[in-house]
A and B are shown apart, each in its own frame.
Chain A
Amino acid sequence: MTSSLPDTVGITAETTAESAPDVSALKRTESPLGRLRHRPEAGALIGTISVFVFFAIFGGEKFLAAAGAASWLNIAAELGIIAIPVGLLMIAGELDVSVGSVLAGSSMTLAIVSGHWGAPMIVGIVLALGLGLLIGLLNGIIVTRTNVPSLVVTLATMAGVAGLTLGLSRVATGTTSVAISPDPFSKAVFGQLIGGQFEVAIFWWIGIAVLVSVVLQMMPYGNWIFAIGGDKESARATGIPVTKVKIALYMASGFGAALVGVIQTILYNGAQVANGQSFVFNSIIAVVIGGVLLTGGYGSVIGIALGTLTFAIVNQGIYYTGWNSDWASLILGVLILTAVLMNNTFRRLALSYKPRSAKKV
């Protein structure tokens, strides 16, 4: 529909003439730091800086050295590739807990097709990624058609895909762990260790974060995702193709999980049926720490990336402190709670934000 700008301009001119003019100019003076307070990633940034400083102090030089940085960056990269699409889904008001099974399924697909059966690497990679898209499509169709809560739907696909992966792997190879020897090109693209320690996945993560950030913040689709998570019915009433957007987002999270499956398989020269289940909760943790509202409608990719980093730093940092690593989960628990409370506070701050010259109508 086209806008009828000319009709309304006349009225604008007469009613605003006496009231509005200089307030917007006044507001512009707020500092960048001040503006950040009203962003979804405000809490996540504080979280990342805090845990970094904490472990830099207690973990010392080893934590800060290249090997230390690599250990948490590698964790962050693999988790981040999954957390970004999972976070987008959460912004749109849906959950996906099938990512762990998708990861296992796609790694086994690649290992069996290109390792066990000896097909060209590219065939296995395409099939593995295709599997991720297919399961995402299935999740999306079931969630949008049935109105069953997405947690339940994806719990079902999580179990189903895990069972299929185990069953089919056993039928095809007689074992649950399959080796593969990737060609140098695949290795370079997916499984290289740069400088012997930094996974090439870090670049995949950064690339995906930049791309998705542009889509979410700067393109109309991003606006649709926020609207769908904010209020599905209102979003539908504005004519947004809610079903298509949700299916696309599920396919994106399936693809992300499958991509990490491919990366791990090529990096470790093999796949196991039990791979990947830790990503289910870890991705949700990273997303929630990153300031995304669990019920949808609010969040940012930068926030998700910072949440992922925070998680990875805590996850690895404990090993550099010399403390018993049994305590890592406790720290994580405290962190999650603190982060969510902090994010709530920042969200309330954003909601109560009014220009200083506010006057009641």
Chain B
Amino acid sequence: MTTTPLLRLADVSKSFLGTNALQDISLEVEAGKVLCLLGDNGAGKSTLIKILSGFHKPTSGTIEINGERVEFDSPRDASAQGIATVHQFGGTFPLMGVGRCFFVGAEPTKGFGPFKLFDKKLAGEIAVREMQSLGITRVTDGNRLVGALSGGERQALAIARAVYFGANVLILDEPTAALGVKEAAHVLRIIMQARAKGVAVILVTHNVRHAMMVGDHFAVLIRGQKADDFRKGERTREEITDLMAGGEAMADLEAELAQLQADA
């Protein structure tokens, strides 16, 4: 693998009406690696995702893909550069069939000219096959409504979709937050499968445990700034948790709680 990261952010800042949501964020993600973006609520994770997926433009700073500077005017620009974002609930359509959902906006067609018809059969077959390639064997019918799938299966559908359409960078926004223990483990396995396919994964989460299971590289955001940046094995879980919660503040809180407990 070359030393050029697939995606690089240099000093990216974003302010809304004078308030700094993000300040001088620099990050790198390599192909086939998982970068975990950790942070408490309001730390700026969502803003960063929106910048990467083309919903917002950074106020300053640059984004590079394969060493070339890029600017996204719309989510479409970002996805044209191979950046795909999967949201907490999969960003999928509960009342649509799996096949229809998989190909929204990129429907395969048959026939010619203005009479091109949506090839639903092919769409269903591909969707089912791609989900099976991520280990979802329970979905065998492309007409099955997405709303009938479990939370983990929906995540798998969204991830399969992103990978199928050539995503090089996969941004996963809290993919395990709404899931049970087993389902979450399954999604983590799917993340590793995407990683094995050479996709650069950005896993956004506040679950340190899940992050440590799959991450190669970690960045912690606190109030819009990058508080720490380290590789696998360089920090313990306690250190990370403390950092996310504001470092010493957490130790103080623990002492205070211990005191309260002793008093009771």
Chain A residues in the interface with B (C-beta under 8 A): 1-5, 7-8, 11-12, 15-16, 19-20, 23-24, 27, 38, 218-220, 222-224, 226-227, 230-231, 233-240, 293, 297-298, 347, 350-355, 358-361
Contacts and interface: CB of A to CB of B under 8 A. Distances in A.
A162 B113 CA distance: 41
Nearest to A295: B95
Interface residues of B, number: 51
Contacts of B152: 361
A342 to B, nearest CB: 17
A230 B94 contact: yes
A219 B108 CA distance: 10
Contacts of B153: 361
Contact of A298 (B76, B87, B95, B120): B95
Contacts of B53: 237
Nearest to B193: A11
B91 A230 contact: no
Contacts of B94: 230, 297, 351
Contact of B92 (A24, A234, A239): A234
B83 to A, nearest CB: 11
Contacts of A3: 106, 164-166
A231 B165 CA distance: 20
Mostly helix, strand, loop or mixed at chain A's interface? helix
A220 B136 CA distance: 26
A200 to B, nearest CB: 27
Contacts of B95: 226, 230, 293, 297-298, 347, 351
Given A4-B165, A359-B137, A360-B138, 11 more contacts: A20-B140, A27-B141, A220-B109, A224-B104, A235-B104, A239-B79, A240-B105, A293-B95, A351-B147, A353-B144, A361-B186
Contacts of B128: 24
Contacts of B75: 236-237, 239
B145 A353 contact: yes
Nearest to B76: A239
A23 B106 contact: no
A7 B197 contact: yes
A16 B132 CA distance: 6
Most chain A beta-carbon contacts within 10 A, residue among B93, B147, B186 = B93
Given A222-B118, A226-B100, A1 B133 contact: no
Contacts of A220: 107, 109, 116, 118
B116 A19 contact: no
B174 interface: no
Q: Which 10 A-B pairs have the closest CB atoms?
A: A230-B93, A238-B105, A220-B107, A12-B133, A234-B91, A298-B95, A19-B137, A23-B140, A4-B166, A227-B104
Interface in B183-219: 186, 193, 197
Contacts of B163: 8
B135 A12 contact: no
A220 B109 CA distance: 8
A96 to B, nearest CB: 21
Nearest to A352: B148
B56 interface: no
Nearest to A25: B140
A358 B193 contact: no
17 contacts: A1-B166, A3-B164, A11-B197, A220-B107, A220-B109, A223-B107, A230-B95, A231-B93, A235-B105, A237-B91, A238-B104, A239-B79, A351-B95, A353-B145, A358-B138, A361-B137, A361-B138
Nearest to A238: B105
Interface centre among A3, A7, A237 (most CB of B within 10 A): A237
A335 B116 CA distance: 39
A3 B136 CA distance: 21
B106 to A, nearest CB: 7
